[in-house]
Each structure stands twice: as C-alpha cells, then as structure tokens.
Chains A and B, each alone.
Chain A
Amino acid sequence: MKPAFRASVNLALNNANLTGALGRFSEAYRTGRAKAYEGIDFEAVRARIAQAKSAAAAHLDELAEGFKAKAEARGAVVFRASDPAQVRAYILALAKARGVTRIVKSKSMASEEIHLNAHLEAGGMEVAETDLGEWILQLDHQTPSHMVMPAIHMTKEEVADVFSGKVEPGQTPDIPRLVKFARGRLRTKFLEAELGITGANIAVAETGSLVIVTNEGNARLVTTLPKIHVAIVGIEKLVEQFEDIQPILTALPRSATGQLLTSYVSILTGVTPNTDGSPKELHIILMDNQRTAMAKDPKFKQALQCIRCASCLNVCPVFRLVGGHVFGKTYTGGIGTILTAWFDELKQAEDIQSLCIQCGNCKVVCPGKIDIPELILELRRRLAVEQGQPVLQKAIFAVVNNRRVFHAMLRAASVTQKPFAKNGFIRHLPLFLSGLTEFRSLPAIAAVPFRDRFKQIRQPPCKEKAAFYSGCLIDFSYPEMGEAVVKVLNKAGVEVVYPEGQTCCGAPARYSGAYEVAARNAQDNIEALLEADVQYVVSACPTCTVALKQDFIATFESLGMTGRLDDARKLAAKAMDFSTLVKQLVDQGRLTFKEGKELERFTYHDSCHLKRTLDASKAPRELLQKAGYELQEMTECDMCCGMGGSYSLKLPEISAPILERKLGNIKATGAPLAVMDCPGCVMQIRGGFDQDGAAVRVEHTAQKLAERLE
C-alpha cells in the first residue's frame, strides 16, 4: 500500500464532517430503502435487470448498431467512439463549428470518466454543471465523492463559503437560501447556453430512446432550452427492448435514494422541436472505453449489469468511514473499484481494492446482481499474478503453505508471547506491531492447542460420526469452543473425529489474491477430511465453512484445476456450519436443552459469512432461545464487526472505527451477553470490550449451548 494512499485514508477517517454525514446517511438509507421496496419482489426485479443487462452485454456491438439505426431514423446523429480522446475531440469540434461558447451540463458520470470539462474549458468554452452538487464541486475544483450525491462530504458552511468566494460574497449557511441562490444563478446559464450535455441512465436499442432520470429537473432544462443536445452514453447503458426499462426504473430510484420514482424521468427519442420551432440538433455519443473488453472477460462481464444506483456504497461499512475521494476521481465504492480497474487500468485499483473487507453487504442489495466482493477478489488475484505479492505476505504464506512448519510456529508462539499475554489476552505489542492491539486486545495463543486437547476427550458410543474442522483460531486460540462443539454433538449421538491432516482453510491467502497458496491449503484439507468415514464435516467458523462448501471449488475453478473439482464437491456436500447442523439435530428430536429457567438476555451478532453466504441467521437465534436465553436485537445486527480476517491487521485504522460502532450497538441493547457463531468475530469483539472496559461477555454459540444440555 502506497504511503500517499494510506495518508488519504487517514485524512478521510479524521474528517468528522465526512464520517458524520456518511454515517447518518447509511443508517437512514437502510430504512428508506426497505420502505421504498415494500410490496415489491426485489429478487424478481433484479433477476429481470440482470437478465436484460447481461443479454445486452453479450451483444453490445449489435445493440449499438441497432440503436444507431433507430435513433438516426428519428433524426439524431449517433457517433460511436472507442476511447475518451475521440469523445472529447468530437464535442469540442462540434461546439466550435456551431459557434458555441456557453455549455450547460446535467449530471453525467461518463463525462466525469473522460474529464470532459477541463478539455472543453481549455478549448475556450464556458461549461456549467447544473446539478446542484456538481456545480458546488465545479466551483470549488473538487471531484464527486459519491455517484448519486456528489457533494455529500460538504457542510452547508463550506457550500456558503464556496458560493461567497466564487460567485457572490455574503452567502449564509442556510440551505433553502443556498438552493434559491443556485437556482437564480444557474437559470441565467440555462437560458443563455447554446449547447446542452447530458448522460443517460438507459439507452434502448429497439427504439433509439434515451432515458434520463433526475430530481432537480436540470436535465429537462438542458435538453429543452439549448438548440443542440449532446448525450454521452457508455454502451453498458444499452438494453435491447423498451420493456427492459421497467425493472430498471423500478429499482434505480428505490435503491439510489429510497424514492418510488425520481421527480423527473424523460424518455427522449430522436429530434424534438426547439423553443423557436426549429428541430433540435441531437448528437448521441455511444462511448466504449474498455466496455467491450470487459464484456469479453468471463469474470468481469457481469460488472456491466450495474445501473449506477450506488447502493453498494451506501451499505458499505468502509465507504461510510472513508467516503469517495480515497477511491480516485470518478467512480467510487465497491463497483467504483472494479470500474476504475477497467476504465483506467488495473494498477489504479491496487490500493483501493484493499479497502474491501469482504462483508458481502453490497452483493445482497445490488439491483444488477453483481457479485462485487468476488470481482474484487478477482482483481486481487490478478494483481498478485501481475505484480507479485508483497514480501511480508509472501513470507507468511510460505509458512501457511507448509502445515507442519505453520503449526510448529504457532506452538512456539504460545511460548514467545508470554511477556505480552495476560489472562488470555495480548493487550500491547511492541514497536511496529503496536497498532494491532491499540483498539482491541488479541487472544493469547493457547498453551495446548485443540488438536492435542481433543485426544483427552472421552466420547460416548454414537451411531453417527462427524469430522470436526476446527480452523486455526479454535485450534490455537479458542480450544474451549472446539470442546463445546464435541460436547453438543455427542449429546445428539454424533461422535466427533478430528482429522490431523487438516490445516488453514486458505481464506487468508484467497482473500489476499494468493490463489496458489489457497489451492494448496484446499488440497491438504480435502485429502484429510475425505479420508474420514463420516456423515458430516462440521465447522464452528463460518469463514472456514464457506471455504469447505464454496471457496475450494471456486479457487480450483479460477486456476483451471478441474481435476480437483470432484473431490472438492464431495467435501462441499458434507460440510455444514455448527448451528445449522445442531438445528437439524434438534428438529430431528435428537437433542434437547434444559427447560424452565429464564436465563439472561443476549444480543446476537450475525457474522458476514454466516448470514450472507450460508444464509443461516435464524438457526443460532432459535437454538439460543430454545436453550432459555432471551433475545434482544441490536441495531445493524448483521453489519460487519471490522475483523475481516487479516483485514484488521492490514488496515487497523478502518477496522477500529467499524468495531467501535459495533460495540456501541451491542452496549445500547443493555444485554450482558453478545453471542456469535464466528471465532474471528469473537476475537475482534471480545478484544474490543477488553479495551473498552464494558461488562459485556462475548461468546460463541457452541459454548452457550453446551452449558444448557439436558
């Protein structure tokens, strides 16, 4: 990570206006979005969008030609351009040829992408952005920090200063007045401009139509008043049929701002009359700029399903802390990381891709059904292939790659940590490691790992068998969680075996883009776990479970290791997370909990992989309630805790404030107990409370259930 990038992240984190505004917005957004989608089958709507957009992405050239034919039949001029320079040159030449000096623009990310304003201004044009947020930024020489709300990072005081300094002195920080002031100033520009530039939200090949969505009404003025209209349209905005706009118009306003529909939607087809009765001169530029190349990439073609609603920004626990500017000049957030890698170059995404904590929130809300976290991992993988891994990371994975060395080192660490460990925690680390324990204590490495303790456990005779996959944290830091798993399963008549050949699940390597290391881990584990003759393979770590059920397969597929797939699928079919298996055993009547006594209240934290990949948010809650605990839900129960595996080590400055919010939400419930299914979340949240000092106990579901067996 480049020092300049880290500095920009820290600058953003310390900007209280930014984090305050984004934090409040992200909380309001969640409610607003849910309300806007009431009575709408979101899954059905997004399936239609994904279908229409992916079909379009597969035939971009055809659709562009079809659009061109239709629009030109209606009097438009359509120019297809492959690169930004052609687009800039075309517009400037047109403006000069028509004697234009004044241009008004409504919001267009495509024009931001090609830095159009600077080019036109250098060519002698006066260009005015008319979207209020964009105008403020233009006056202050800033770039948008959010695709839908470009100036969300600014306060009214800052806006008043910009207006006073750049337009007319004496503006006060009163929002309605500032808006009125902008209306008056921009009204003159609308009326004087000879040329108007817009983007488009959708372009329909079947009819040659452009669909433009705004709230302020500026696009209506830009397309009505000047005699020339230039629309810049990225070709990923193309859909085949007119009916394809329906699901997009259903989702875009709801996902972007929680509106049922934006104030204005204009469907423009061909030439319409100007205010003096002459026909409008309409130029539509279909811009490629890497989109066709993207469509040909088997992984990244799905990114063309984006409708630019920015919901992936709004639900991102990292975006709400750092805002958009750290991402670069144009596209921001999760999808922005992917678009920047393509529209600029892969190298540009090198630092920003590391911001993704892989919580999966964006994937759940994306109206285009884009697997953004997966695509960011793919960027990471390609970067690692292209540029190699950082030296330190390489050294670490060289160790993880060799099970015996890795485990020997962990055992050695249980001894060398002694000066720092107290009551099971490491609270301070020396020198460059100190940042890791500033905001949360780390668990000490257990003196006896689970794999050794397991040999001491005496199990009753059982009719079924399960292989336990402990994962590194339970094995070396939290062996008591493993013991609880054995106790619960034994009670249900399931004997637990512990295949010794198991090693790290490979998630840290995979999430760092080191797929070869992850594949080696996968092979070792598959071999060890399939050797055991068992009905189930169970893990009490959701991230490990996802590795067993999905990631091993995905890693092999990415690397073209098709010969390994059969075994990986065999293992996936047997693998289960602890709570889902236990719920199944309870439902089968094989396991009951002590009854009668009302126990303490607890709040439940949904771990990212358990909730969003394994879809198991109900099972642990039901089990804990059956076991006598009273559930008290917290705000944002399914928001990431900031752990993200090695993320909290790489970006502790971001992990810390995410954790702080989580601790606050837990404390606000007043419950003395926070339960979760992931040892990684336990490590983060328990470590956080150890530093925070609040009397909240943090436990794994397995432990709380083991205490309540009949």
Chain B
Amino acid sequence: MDNTLFETFKARAEAVSAEVHRFPTRRTALDFVLELFRAQAVQDAPQGALWAGGSFLEGFGKEELGTPGLSFDVTRQAAAGAKVGVSQMDWAIADTGTLVQDAARVDLRLVSTLPPIHVALVGTSRILADLPSLFRRLHPDQTGCISLITGPSRTADIERVLTIGVHGPERLVIVFVDELGKEAA
C-alpha cells in the first residue's frame, strides 16, 4: 500500500471537513465505530444507528455487534430517524478526497443521505490516484448508480457563508481499514 495515496487522501478530505481515521484490522475499526455510537448515545429506533451490510461485517456475530440501538434492518423510516448511518465504500480517490460507491442498493443511499452522521468504511488498499483511475474500474454498464461523496453536505447559499450539513450528513467520518478489501484491489 502506497502511503502517499493515503496521506494525500487524508489532506484533501480533511480540507473539505471530513474526518479521516485509519486502523490496521476490522476488529480495531469496529471498536472505534462502536465507541462512536456510545459517544452519540444512540438508542433503539428511532434514534438508532443503522448499518447497511457489506463485507466488513463478515465473520462478526452477535457477540461483537450486539450493541443497543444498532440495527441492520435499513428502511426509509428507520433511516429518517437514525442518528448514525454506516456503509462501506468501494473506492476512494486521493486526488480529491472522494469516496466512491456502487450505490444501486437503496439501503446504501438511505444510510448516507438521511442520518446526520455518516460513517464510511473503506479498505485502505482501495485508494486510487484520481478520477481516470476510477473510471477504468467502475462503469455505468455495471451499475445503475455510482455515488461520489466528497466531504459532508454543504451550502454557501446564504451570503456565501460555508455551512455544513444542509440536506445530507453534517459529519462524514471516514474509517480506513488496512485489512479490508485487499483481495479485490
């Protein structure tokens, strides 16, 4: 893994108000996410945390994931009330600090649009240099919805004052996991 790609990504993403973390294993990353749930005092629905499934979760059972307020049953209603949404990203682009997802699955879109906090999990080895590198790997023939996310939702529509979190998440917490997604990179 080329560390400069990660460093570039981190700098670019932080410049647009995203939070960037990195962990060696899925286990340590999961601990971080669960701690974030506790800090946000997530409770059972409608004030819960909503996790749209992905390969990150493979092998984790009730023991690791049985936290109050966390649900994997992503519905429109649950997402509208949730405090935190979690989903896994397919790629990251260092050049612009962007996350990329095949978001044809509607649950993936719900957890990253409606809750005020979006936790985005991504394998560190999935960082690409730039947009052209991405489009060599991901094409509309493969999926009906490609989502590129660069920082949290923002507006400058009133007096050009930058304000974070208008319609989408006001916090974008990006969690890189070194051992995630290596096989497909």
Verify if A606 is at the interface (C-beta below 8 Å from B). Answer: no
- Shortest CB distance B39–A (Å): 21
**Which one of B46-54, B55-63, B159-167 is at the interface?**
B159-167
A268 within 8 A of B: yes
| A178/B158 in contact, CB under 8 A | yes
Interface string of B42-82 (1 = CB under 8 A from A): 00000000000000000000000000000000011000100
Does any Cβ of A come within 8 Å of B22's Cβ?
Answer: no
> What residues of chain A lie closer than 8 Å to B155, measured between beta carbons?
132-133, 179, 215-216
Give the shortest distance, in Å, between A211 (CB) and chain B (any CB): 9
Cβ of A42 to closest chain B Cβ, rounded Å: 16
What residues of A have a CB within 8 angstroms of the CB of B98 in the complex? 261
B97 interface residue (CB < 8 Å to A):
yes
Given contact pairs A216-B153, A224-B113, A267 touches B140 in the complex (Cβ within 8 A): yes
Partner of A216, one of B105, B158, B167: B167
Specify which chain A residues have a CB less than 8 angstroms from the CB of B166 in the assembled complex. Answer: 132, 179, 182-183, 216-218
A221 / chain B contacts, CB cutoff of 8 Å: 113-114, 167-168
Q: How many residues of A contact B (CB 8 A)?
A: 65
Complex CA–CA separation, A270 to B141 (angstroms): 10
Q: Is B21 positioned at the interface, with any CB of A under 8 Å from its CB?
A: no
Instruction: State the Cβ distance, B76 to closest chain A Cβ, in Å.
Output: 4
Query: How many angstroms from the CA of A156 to the CA of B97 in the assembled complex?
Result: 31
* A274 to B110 alpha-carbon distance, docked (Å): 10
User: B158 and A242: CB pair below 8 A?
Assistant: no
Considering residues B16, B106, B161, which has the most beta carbons from chain A within 10 angstroms of its beta carbon? Answer: B106
Q: Are A224 and B110 in contact (CB under 8 A)?
A: yes
Q: Kindly state the separation between the CA atoms of A209 and B141 in the bound complex, as whole angstroms.
A: 9
Q: CB of A169 within 8 A of chain B?
A: no
B27 located at the interface, meaning its Cβ lies under 8 Å from any Cβ of chain A in the complex: no
The answer to whether B144 and A152 have CB atoms under 8 Å apart is: no
Instruction: Determine whether the beta carbon of B161 is less than 8 Å from that of A175.
Output: yes
Q: Which residues of A contact B131 (CB under 8 A)?
A: 246, 249-250
B88 lies within 8 A of chain A by Cβ: no
User: A207 touches which one: B96, B141, B157, B161 (CB < 8 A)?
Assistant: B141
0/1 string, A15-30, CB within 8 A of B gives 1: 0000001001100100
| Docked pose: A262 CA to B155 CA in angstroms | 11
What chain A residues lie within 8 Å of B123 (beta carbons)?
A: none
Q: Determine if A225 is an interface residue (Cβ-Cβ < 8 Å).
A: yes
Contacting residues, chain B, for A530 (C-beta < 8 A):
none
In the assembled complex, which residues on chain B have CB atoms less than 8 Å from the CB atom of A216? 153-155, 166-168
Query: What are the residues of chain A within 8 A of B160 when measuring CB–CB?
Result: 21, 24-25, 28, 149, 152
Whether A262 and B150, one on each chain, are in contact in the complex, defined by CB atoms closer than 8 angstroms, is yes
CB distance from A52 to the nearest CB of B (A): 14
Contact A263 B152 (CB under 8 A): yes
Q: Which residues of B contact A152 (CB under 8 A)?
A: 160
A410 within 8 A of B: no
Q: Is the CB of B158 within 8 A of A159?
A: yes
Query: By DSSP majority rule, is chain B's interface helix, strand, loop, or mixed?
Result: loop
- Alpha-carbon gap, A131 to B167, bound state (A): 9
Cβ–Cβ contact B144 & A270, under 8 A: yes
In the assembled complex, the CB of B58 is this many whole angstroms from the nearest CB of chain A, namely: 23
The number of chain B residues with a CB under 8 A from chain A is 48
Task: Tell whether A274 pairs with B106 under 8 Å between CB atoms, given A175-B161, A207-B140.
Answer: yes
* Inter-subunit contact A74/B96 (CB<8 Å): no
Give the residue of B106, B144, B149 whose beta carbon is less than 8 angstroms from that of A264: B149
Assess whether A523 is interfacial by the CB under 8 Å rule. no
Query: Measured between alpha carbons, how far is A369 from B177 in the docked complex, in Å?
Result: 43
Any chain A CB within 8 A of the CB of B36?
no
**Nearest A-chain residue to B79, judged by Cβ:** A275
Q: Check if A191 is an interface residue, CB within 8 A of chain B.
A: yes
Whether A266 pairs with B135 at a CB distance below 8 angstroms is no
A377 vs B72: C-alpha distance in the bound complex, in angstroms?
A: 62
Q: Please state if A209 and B150 are interface contacts (CB–CB under 8 Å).
A: no
How far, in whole Å, are A49 and B38 apart by their CA atoms in the complex? 48
- Bound CA span A25–B162, Å: 13
Q: How far is B130's CA from A250's CA once the two chains are assembled, in angstroms? A: 10
B148 touches A264 (CB 8 A): yes
The answer to whether A266 touches B146 (Cβ under 8 A) is yes
Instruction: Confirm or deny: B104 has a beta carbon within 8 angstroms of a beta carbon on chain A.
Output: yes
Q: Answer yes or no: B184 CB below 8 A from chain A CBs.
A: no
Q: Closest A residue to B134 by CB, please name it.
A: A246
Bound Cα distance from A183 to B166, whole angstroms: 6
> A1-42: which residues lie under 8 A (CB-CB) from chain B?
21, 24-25, 28
Collect the chain A residues with CB atoms within 8 Å of residue B182's CB: none
Do B139 and A132 touch across chains, with their CB atoms under 8 A apart?
no
Give the docked Cα–Cα distance between A151 and B155 (Å).
12
Q: Cβ of B85 < 8 Å from any Cβ of A? A: no
Nearest chain B CB to A143's CB is how many angstroms away? 15
> Can you name the residue of chain B whose Cβ is closest to the Cβ of A180?
B165
Known: A133-B157, A263-B151. A220 touches B113 (CB 8 A): yes
Measured CB to CB, the closest approach of chain A to B99, in angstroms, equals: 11
- Mark interface residues in A120-137 (1 if CB within 8 Å of B CB, else 0): 000000000011110010
Q: A273, B146: Cβ atoms under 8 Å?
A: no
A263 touches B140 (CB 8 A): no
Q: Are B167 and A267 in contact (CB under 8 A)?
A: no
Q: A156-B158, A224-B110 are in contact. Are A179 and B168 (CB under 8 A)?
A: no
Given pairs A130-B167, A263-B151, 10 additional interface contacts (CB within 8 A): A28-B160, A190-B167, A217-B168, A218-B166, A221-B114, A224-B106, A261-B150, A267-B148, A269-B140, A269-B141
- Pull 24 A–B residue pairs with CB atoms less than 8 Å apart, ordered by A: A21-B160, A28-B160, A131-B157, A132-B155, A149-B156, A178-B158, A183-B165, A209-B140, A215-B155, A216-B155, A217-B113, A217-B167, A220-B167, A221-B168, A242-B139, A259-B16, A262-B150, A263-B16, A267-B146, A269-B140, A272-B145, A275-B76, A275-B106, A276-B76
The 6 A-B residue pairs with the shortest CB-CB distance, nearest first, are: A217-B168, A133-B157, A265-B148, A267-B146, A275-B76, A217-B153
Instruction: Report which A residues bind B (CB closer than 8 A).
Output: 21, 24-25, 28, 74, 130-133, 136, 149-152, 154-156, 159, 175-176, 178-179, 182-183, 186-187, 190-191, 204, 207-209, 215-218, 220-221, 224-225, 242-243, 245-246, 249-250, 257, 259-276
